[in-house]
Amino acid sequence: MGEHKRGCGMNAKTPCDKTIDMFGGAAPLAVSTDPVTGNITEYHSIEDFTTGCIDERNLKVKPESYIYSKLPDYNCEECTVLPYVNPEQLSEIVGYAIKGIAKKYDTDQTPHKEIDSKKISFSIGKAGLIASNTNNKYMSYVLGTDNIDLFVKLAKAGEAVVLHKDIDAAYQIINNGMPETIFKMLVGEKPPANNADLFIQADEDLKNLSPNLIKKFFFDKKQQIIKSIESNLIAQPQVEEKPADRKAEKLDNWQAPISLRNDTLIQSKPYPIDELPEVVRNAILATAEYVQAPVAMAAQCVLASISFLAQGKVNAPKETNREGMPASLFFLTEGGSGGRKSSCQKLVELPIREHERQQYDEYKKSLEDWNARSKTIESKEFAQWALDNPRPTDPTSIFSDITIETLTKFYIKGIVKNASLSSDEAGQFFDGHTMKGDTAKSALGAFTKLFDDGYCQRNRASSDDNGMAYDVRLTFNLLGQRAVLAGALNDPTLRGQGFLPRFILTAPESIAGQRTHTIEFRQKLKNSHKDPRLTKFWNRCRDILKDELPVLLNESGEVPYFPVMQLSGEAELLELEFYNECEILQGSGKQFEFMQPFASRANELARRLGAVLAYFENKSEIDSEIMQAACAVIRHSLSEWFRYSDIEIADESDSEKLIKYLLTKCKKEKTNRLQRTVAMKGAPLQIRKAKEFDPCLNELIEFNYVRLVTINRSTYIELNPALLK
C-alpha cells in the first residue's frame, strides 16, 4: 500500500480521521501534517515512509517531516536516521531509529520563526539490527563495526555495513546473514577477539577519506586480506591426506568460478539519483512512478531535458579555455520496445512542449500574415521586400528524426540555435544511411564538432546552403533495444573516433511484468499533474524558458554570450580526484585499460553535467554537492559501458591460458587434478617458471577455478568440478 494524502483545513473543528477504508482500517506507520496547509500524509508501508521521509544517502530526515506522533507540530527535518533491518534477512529494512532536535515554528510569520525545539528519540516500524546498504544486490563485500560514528560515515559513502556494540557479534551477524560469495571484513578502533585477519584498523587516514575514495580503500584492503590469507595457507605445512578423506570431501564446498575477464569485476549498479539535487531527484522518482518505467530511464530523460534547457544559456568550465566549452550532453539508454521512454519524455518535457507549441502557433500566424502581405507586393519590388521582411522560420528545436545534413543547414541558416535529437529508435540512427559507408566518418566528424565546439560547416560544390554556424548546441537522447544497438556499440569506428565515448550510457533491467495497476494507483494517476515533485521541476523549466533566472556576469561585469559556470574551490578538488581516479584506472592491467576513449573523456562529461545541474539549480557556480552528483552519474555510465558493450580484451591473459591448459590436460588424462610440478613444466612457455606461474595460479585459486591439495606429501592442483561438467 502506498502513502495517502488528503486535505484538512487548518481551522477544522473536527480532527481528520487518520485511518481510511481502503487500508482496511489499519493505522498508518506514520503521519505527517503540514502546519501551513493542513495536508495530512499517511504512510502505510516502510517502503513509502522511506521514499517520503528518509534521505537514505545522508541518513537524515527529509524536510517538512512532522512525523513524531508525540510532537505532531514539530519538524523532524535533519534528525539522524539509523535503519533497522530484519536479523533473518539483512536486505530487508523493517524500521528506523530517529534521533535529534525537532523544531516548532510560528507559521504566521514570514519567514517562519523557530519558537521551540525539543530533543527527540523514537522509532518507526519494527526494531531490528542497525545496518545500511545491505540491500544492495551488487555488493562484493560487507563490513561490520562497533563504532557508530564510523558506521554513519561508511553508510553515507554507500558501503554495506552492520553495526553492533560487540565487533565479534557483528562478524557473526554478517557471516550468518550474507551469502558466501560476499566477502566479510571488520573495521573499528579495537581489534576483535576472533577473525583478526579480517580486521581493518580505523586510523585517521580512513576517517579523513572522502566518500569517493572510501570504496577504493576497502576494495584494496579486501585484495590485500585475500592475498595474505592465501599466502598463509600456502606457507603452512600440508597435512597428508588419506584416501578415505578424499572420498568424504563434498563437492558443494566449491563456489562458482568467477570470470577472469575484467568486465565481471564491475557490476551494474543503480542509477545514483540519491546524489542528484532534490528537485531533480524528486522529478525522476515521480516520473518513474507514474510512467512505471525504470528509474534510470526516467533519470536520463530528466537530465537530457535539463541539458537542452541549459546548453543555450551557459558554458561548462574548461581548463585550457577561459571561455569554457559547450555544456551539451549526449544520452543513450538501452531499452526494449514498450520500455516507456516516450511516456517519460512527454511527462518530463511538458513545459518545454507547451513552449514549443506556443511558439509554433505564433509562427503559423506570422507565416499566414507574411504570405498574405507578399501577395500584395509587386514582382519587381518583391526581392527587396523579402530581404527587408524575411519569411518566418519554423521554431521547432526538438527533433525525433533528422539527418546531420538537414540539421547543419538549419544551423547555418539561423533557423535553429539550440536543438535536441530525441528518439526511441536509436537503431534507425545508427543503422541509417548517414551512419553507413563513406558518409559515416563525415557525419561523425560533424556530430563531434558540434559537441566539442558548438560549430558546424557545410561546403558543397552545388549547394546554396554552404556556410558556417558558431555557438550552436545539440543534446542527444536516444533509446534502443540491445539487439539493435549491439553492432553499433561494438563498432570500432564509433568507439575509436570518440563519438560513443561522448554518450552517458545506462542499461537498466526491464520491469515489464511488474507494472500492475491498483485502484489507488489509477486514482493517483489522475492527479499526477498536481504532484509537487513534478510541478516544482516544471516551474523551474518555465523560468528558464522565460529567461527569468538571474544573468551570470563575467569577470569584467559584462554579460557574455555564454557565461561559464565555474567550479568552486571544493568542487575543483572533487573534479581533480575524479580525473586522477579515471586516469589511474587506464593503466596497464587496470579496469579501464581497454576503455581509454571512454575514461579519458569522463571528467569533461562531469564538468558539463555539473554546469547544467548548477544552472538548473539557479546556482552561480558548480559547488561540491553538484560536482559529486555529476561524478557519480559519469561513474555509473563508465561502469555501464564497461559491462554492456562487451569490450574485447586484446590478448588472452596468462591466467586464462593456464586454466585452459589445466582443463585440457585433466580431460585428456580423465582426472580432476594434476601434480603442481607437472603442471608447471607443461604450462604455456611464458609461465613455466615459479615467478610467473605462481601469480597465475593464485589468481585461479582466488577466482574459484582450482585449489591446492596434498596427497602423499605431493601438492596437487585440483579443478573445480563445475569446469569438468
Q: How sure is the predictor about 557, in pLDDT bands with cuts at 50, 70 and 90? A: low
Q: Which pLDDT belongs to residue 13? A: 31
Least confident of 77-86, 283-292, 360-369, 424-433: 424-433
In a domain, 276, yes or no: no
Last residue of a domain, one of 644, 679, 713: 644
Give just the sign of the alpha carbon dihedral 48, 51, 54, 56.
positive
Task: Give me the torsion for CA of 394, 397, 400, 402, rounded to 10°.
Answer: 70
Query: Is the pLDDT at 241 greater than 60, yes or no?
Result: no
pLDDT at residue 554 tops 80: no
Given this model, what pLDDT does residue 514 score?
A: 82
- Say whether both 223 and 242 belong to one domain: no
- pLDDT above 50 (res 242): no
Residues 327, 389, single domain; the answer is yes
Is the pLDDT reported for residue 568 higher than 90? yes
The crossing angle, in degrees rounded to 10, of helices 341-348 and 295-311 is 40
Q: Which domain holds residue 80?
A: 4-227
Q: What is the pLDDT of residues 198-218, one digit of tens each?
A: 999 988 878 888 877 887 888
Task: Check pLDDT > 50 for residue 496.
Answer: yes
**Residue 423 forms part of a structural domain:** yes
Please tell me which residue, 242 or 608, carries the higher pLDDT value.
608
Domain annotation covers residue 313? yes
461: CATH: 3.40.50
Number of domains in the chain: 3
Contacts of 383 (CB under 8 A, 6+ apart): none
Closest CA to 320 of 583, 604, 613, 611: 604
Secondary structure of residue 311 in the 3-state scheme: helix
Is the confidence at residue 395, as pLDDT, over 60? yes
Place of cell 577455478: 705
Instruction: Please give the pLDDT value at position 438.
Output: 66
E-strand spans in 166-251? 183-188, 199-201
The whole-number pLDDT of residue 96 equals 94
Q: Is 673 helix (H, G, I), strand (E, B) or coil?
A: strand
Residue 633 lies in a domain: yes
- 325 in Cβ contact with 316 (< 8 Å): yes
Answer yes or no: do 367 and 505 share one domain. Answer: yes
471: which residues sit within 8 A by CB, 6+ positions away? Answer: 417, 454, 455, 561, 562
355: which residues sit within 8 A by CB, 6+ positions away? 542, 545
Cell numbers 563490513 correspond to 143
**What own/partner pairs with CB < 8 Å and gap ≥ 24 does 712-718 have?**
712/240, 713/238, 713/240, 714/675, 714/676, 715/238, 715/675, 715/676, 715/677, 716/673, 716/674, 716/675, 716/676, 717/662, 717/673, 717/674, 717/675, 717/676, 717/679, 718/672, 718/673
> 222 and 241 share a domain?
no
Helices (H) and strands (E) in the chain, counts: 25, 25
Pick from 181-190, 221-230, 294-303, 704-713 the range whose average pLDDT is largest.
294-303
pLDDT tens-digit series, residues 409-444: 999 988 888 999 988 777 777 766 667 666 777 888
pLDDT in tens, 345-370: 889 999 998 988 888 899 899 999 98
pLDDT for the residue numbered 151: 92
**pLDDT band at 309, cuts 50/70/90?**
very high
- Could you tell me if 340 and 201 lie in one domain? no
Q: Return the axis-axis angle of helices 624-644 and 602-616, rounded to nearest 10°.
A: 130
664 belongs to a structural domain:
yes
Same domain, 685 and 540: no
Give mean pLDDT, residues 310-323. Answer: 91
State the average pLDDT over residues 671-695.
91
Alpha-carbon torsion, ordered 647, 652, 655, 656, to 10 deg: 80
pLDDT band at 236 (very low <50, low <70, confident <90, very high): very low
534 close to 283: Cβ distance less than 8 angstroms: yes
Quote the pLDDT of residue 548: 52
- pLDDT at 297 exceeding the cut of 90: yes
Pair (498, 606) in one structural domain: yes
Cβ count within 10 A of residue 404: 21
Give residue 516's pLDDT. Answer: 84
Q: Is residue 289 part of a domain?
A: no
pLDDT exceeds cutoff 70 at 614: yes
Question: Which of 594, 619, 644 is at the close of a domain?
Answer: 644
635 and 658 inside one domain = no
When mean pLDDT is compared over 256-265, 283-292, 508-517, the highest value belongs to: 283-292
In the structure grid, which three cell numbers stand for residue 395, read together?
Answer: 521554431
What CATH number is attached to the domain comprising 690?
1.10.10
**Structural domain ending residue among the three candidates 614, 644, 674:** 644
DSSP conformation letters of 368-405: HHHHHHHTTS-HHHHHHHHHHSPPP-----EESS--HH
- Given a cut of 70, whether residue 708 has pLDDT beyond it is yes
Residue 253 lies in a domain: yes
Q: Is 72 helix (H, G, I), strand (E, B) or coil?
A: coil
pLDDT higher than threshold 70 for residue 461: no
pLDDT value for 7: 40
**221 lies in the same domain as 242:** no
Clarify whether residues 638 and 684 are in a common domain.
no
369 in any annotated domain: yes
pLDDT recorded at residue 589 = 74
CB 304 within 8 A of CB 422: yes
